[in-house]
Amino acid sequence: MALAAPARADTIASQQARFTLVDVARGLENPWGLAFLPDGRMLVTERPGRLRLVSAEGELSAPLNGVPVVYDTGQGGLLDVAVDPQFAENSTIYLSYAAPVSGGGTTAIARARLTQSGLSDVTVIFTAKTRGSSGRHYGSRLAFGPDGLLYATIGDHGDDDSAQDLGLHSGKVIRITRTGEPAPGNPFIGRSGALPEIFTYGNRNPQGLTVTPEGGIWAHEHGPRGGDEINVLRAGANYGWPVITHGRAYSGLSIGEGKEKPGMEQAIHLYVPSIAPSGMAFYSGSRFPAWQGDLFLGALAGTHLNRLEIEGGKVVGEERLLEDLGERIRDVRSGPDGHLYLLTDSEEGRLIRIAPAR
């Protein structure tokens, strides 16, 4: 089905750039993840369990065959998508999703080949060991590091204390090979009672994961009531949840032991009150020179695009864009064509291109 992109909207002026919004596609049901193919097409996941191809001109494919069965409950469903670094040779993609298990759902990752007719050779390469979830906190962002290894975020599934339990994957960031084995050199390999896939722990519900221009791995996570965090990930580090947090319980009561504790990492940036971040990308294109190296986050509760200026690994400035749009922004990506791309989270979700104003 071809969807004609409307004319460009009025020019939007920000602190450092002037731009317009172009709808590439509309009518996506709760789109969650976006990835770019070498030929210019895009893959978009829809949370109820559909994967679609979108051309640069906005032609939207029918749902692709072969997608695994998902646990479409609450925050669960088909979530992120990533393209293999050697896609041109192997046509391989990766999907993260809520998989049905006893006790509800858990986070899983599947590997598949993208063909003309859909997905083939679909293999589940990882299923998170959790206590299950009725529909909360799957995490589920995917990113390939400069080491060629696959990093994935696993939310705490609403089971706060599990984030500190190295015998569970919930509340962790994992690092695995492209076939699902624990990555060589992972920090807890060989440690009794610890799962070998774990890279970091003490993470509440990370829905943003990205690689810096220098090759570092950064993640953000939802706080409870306040206290959303952006963290620089280090192998074996403990990011504190639920022992330390800058947020409070939804009841207003305090959580844990305070805001800091020896041996637990501090975030490099906090949002109090929460913006409910989702999706995250460093801008690396040439169409907006002033944005080079800036970090962009989608905001769900805050309904805006959050731009952070980064210098020397620290946040030195913040700007909130598109507040008048009134949309929950689920994902943000820096496209290979130099544009910035967004997914809006609704039953009539949009794939939006941010383009320089003429």
Look at residue 58 and tell me whether its pLDDT is greater than 60. yes
25 domain-assigned: yes
CATH code of the domain covering residue 338: 2.120.10.30
User: Using alpha carbons only, how large is the chain's radius of gyration in Å?
Assistant: 19
Q: Which residues contact 312 (CB under 8 A, 6 or more apart)?
A: none
Q: Which residues contact 246 (CB under 8 A, 6 or more apart)?
A: 223, 226, 227, 229, 259, 267, 270, 272
Look at residue 146 and tell me whether its pLDDT is greater than 80. yes
Q: Which residues contact 282 (CB under 8 A, 6 or more apart)?
A: 210, 211, 212, 213, 293, 294, 295, 296, 310, 334
For residue 7, what pLDDT band results from cuts at 50, 70 and 90?
A: very low
Catalytic option among 137, 220, 222, 339: 137
Q: How many folded domains does the chain comprise?
A: 1
Average pLDDT, the chain: 95
Domain with 123, as residue range(s), is 12-356
Mapped onto helix, strand or coil, the DSSP state of residue 216 is coil
Q: Which of 5-9, 61-65, 324-328, 329-333 has the lowest mean pLDDT?
A: 5-9
pLDDT tens-digit series, residues 100-112: 998 899 999 999 9
pLDDT tens-digit series, residues 111-139: 999 999 899 999 999 999 999 888 999 99
6 domain-assigned: no
261 domain-assigned: yes
Rounded Cα distance between 80 and 100, Å, is: 17
Rounded Cα distance between 180 and 287, Å, is: 37
**Count of helices and strands (H, E) across the chain:** 1, 24
Q: Which two tokens stand for residue 104?
A: 């509800």
Look at residue 9 and tell me whether its pLDDT is greater than 80. no
Inter-CA distances, 142 with 150, 170, 208, 305, 307, Å: 7, 15, 9, 20, 21
Look at residue 1 and tell me whether its pLDDT is greater than 60. no
pLDDT tens-digit series, residues 15-32: 999 999 999 999 999 999
Rounded Cα distance between 275 and 251, Å, is: 18
For residue 358, what pLDDT band results from cuts at 50, 70 and 90?
A: confident
Q: Output the 3-class SS for 49-105.
A: CEEEEECCCCEECCCCECCCCCCCCCCCCEEEEEECCCHHHHCEEEEEEEEEECCEE
Rounded Cα distance between 292 and 61, Å, is: 32
Rounded Cα distance between 63 and 66, Å, is: 10
Look at residue 229 and tell me whether its pLDDT is greater than 50. yes
Look at residue 320 and tell me whether its pLDDT is greater than 80. yes
Rounded Cα distance between 127 and 340, Å, is: 32
153 domain-assigned: yes
4 domain-assigned: no
Look at residue 5 and tell me whether its pLDDT is greater than 50. no
96 domain-assigned: yes
In DSSP terms, 136 is beta-bridged to: none
Rounded Cα distance between 69 and 159, Å, is: 24
Catalytic residue list contains 137: yes
CA torsion sign, 222 to 225 to 230 to 231? negative
pLDDT tens-digit series, residues 230-260: 999 999 999 999 999 999 999 999 999 999 9
Averaged over 87-102, what is the pLDDT? 97
Q: What is the model's pLDDT at position 10?
A: 80
Rounded Cα distance between 76 and 349, Å, is: 17
H or E element that contains 299 = strand 295-299
Q: What is the model's pLDDT at position 198?
A: 98
Percent of the chain whose pLDDT exceeds 70:
97
Averaged over 179-202, what is the pLDDT? 98
Q: 102: how many CB neighbours lie within 10 A of its CB? A: 7
206 domain-assigned: yes
Rounded Cα distance between 202 and 271, Å, is: 18
150 domain-assigned: yes
